[in-house]
Amino acid sequence: MQEQPEAAVEETANNTVNEAVDAVTSMDPNTMLEFLRNSGIDSTLFVNFGKNLIVAILIFYIGRFVVKLVVRGMTKVMDRQQVDQTLQKFVGNLVSMALMVVVIIAAIGALGIQTTSFIAIFGAAGLAVGLALQGSLSNFAAGVLIVLFRPYKVGDYVEAAGIAGSVEEVQILTTVLKTPDNKKIIVPNSQIMDSIITNYSANDTRRVDLTVGVSYSDDLDKVHATLRELVNADERILKDPECLIAVQALADSSVNFVVRPWVASGDYWGVYFDLTEKIKKRFDDEDISFPFPQQDVHLYTVKD
């Protein structure tokens, strides 16, 4: 029973509002200014506010358009640098939000509103967030440097921050490594950038360093020829640069030879293990000895 009167009142109110809006919008500017003048209201305030509002709207839309152009240009640059897609989106959103804050403050200032308080609020909020996320921000900055300067990439075998392993993923805040025994290790990017980075996969070739000790009684020319034959027989060993085989030191119990062949980076460990085994077997066949540590003990008889 009460719904009909309420509906009637609502319909009447809507009709009244619509009629008022139509009456205002149907006024020409001169009639509206005359109305404002007769009502005692300063029309200059409305005119200036209207101008400021138009300027603020233009600043907002033009600024938003410029921000999109800037973010799009940054994305293209990062694409050419082969930056990770995740980092591209994160940096793009971060820059977009920062620039939009500037645009909004400029638009508010165009309305005649003092923006000093807004800037102070944003500054205080930024300082608080920066202090709370100090560690994360340093990891993020290090991640950006890693992506830009590319000291390593996915698939490289590296040693950094005391950890050695293959790079599985370079994330915004961390780098994921897989150790040779198949352990997954997540290292903060800031720790990696603060340490010495050794990238074993950066170059196409690597040098295998072997030290072989033989007895002082062995024929050095025969040892040299045997080592050279073993090196030449392995097709994985590169001819250029030539493998170095030389006497390194006359040690306490042995004459030490160095064997330094060059191989492709992917063949490093295969050549290292295979060549070590072949040297042992071949030396046994050639009666070339591997001396054990020796000491000469001299006994003197003291007569009474």
**Which residues have C-beta within 8 Å of that of residue 170, sequence separation ≥ 6?**
84, 143, 146, 147, 152, 153, 154, 176
Q: Where are the domains of the chain?
A: 23-132, 151-199, 205-285
Q: What is the pLDDT of residue 3?
A: 47
Query: Among residues 229, 302, 293, 296, which one has the least CA distance to residue 256?
Result: 293
Q: Compute the mean pLDDT over every residue in the chain, rounded to the nearest whole number.
A: 82
CA dihedral for 218, 219, 222, 227, sign (positive or negative): positive
pLDDT reading at 8 higher than 90: no
Q: 175 forms bridges with which residues in the sheet?
A: 170, 187
Q: Which of 180, 172, 254 is nearest to 211 (CA)?
A: 254
Q: Is 123 left (phi over 0), alpha (psi -120 to 50) or beta?
A: alpha
**Which residue(s) pair with 205 in the sheet?**
264
Query: Please, is 173 exposed, middle or buried when counting C-beta atoms within 10 Å of its C-beta (0-12, 13-18, 19+)?
Result: middle
pLDDT surpassing 80 at residue 295: no
Lowest mean pLDDT among 122-131, 165-174, 245-254: 122-131
DSSP letters spanning 3-63: HHHHHHHHHHHHHHHHHHHHHHHTS-HHHHHHHHHHTT--HHHHHHHHHHHHHHHHHHHHH
Q: What angle do CA 171, 175, 180 make, to 5 degrees?
A: 140
Answer whether residue 129 shows pLDDT above 70.
no
**Contact (Cβ atoms closer than 8 angstroms) between residue 232 and residue 204:** no
Q: Do 144 and 74 contact (CB within 8 A), yes or no?
A: no
pTM: 0.59
Domain 205-285 belongs to what topology? Alpha-Beta Plaits (3.30.70)
**What is residue 123's three-state secondary structure?**
helix
Token pair of 222, please? 């025969």
Tell me: pLDDT of 1 over 50: no
Mean pLDDT lowest for which of 148-157, 209-218, 265-274, 290-299?
290-299
Which tokens belong to 77?
Answer: 């640059």
pLDDT band at 258 (very low <50, low <70, confident <90, very high): very high
151-199, what's its fold? Answer: SH3 type barrels. (2.30.30)
Q: Omega into 29 within 30° of 0, i.e. cis?
A: no
In this predicted model, what pLDDT tens digit does every residue of 35-67 receive, in sequence order?
Answer: 556 655 555 666 677 778 888 888 889 989 999
Q: Are 243 and 262 a contacting pair, CB within 8 Å?
A: yes
Q: What class does CATH assign to 23-132?
A: mainly alpha
Residue 5 predicted with pLDDT over 60: no
Task: Tell me: pLDDT of 150 over 80.
Answer: yes
Residue 65, Cβ density class (10 Å: 0-12 exposed, 13-18 middle, ≥19 buried): exposed
14, 16, 28, 29 from 22: Cα distances, Å:
12, 10, 12, 14
Contact at 8 Å (CB) between 288 and 223?
yes
Q: Which of 8-12, 48-52, 78-82, 280-284 has the highest mean pLDDT?
A: 280-284
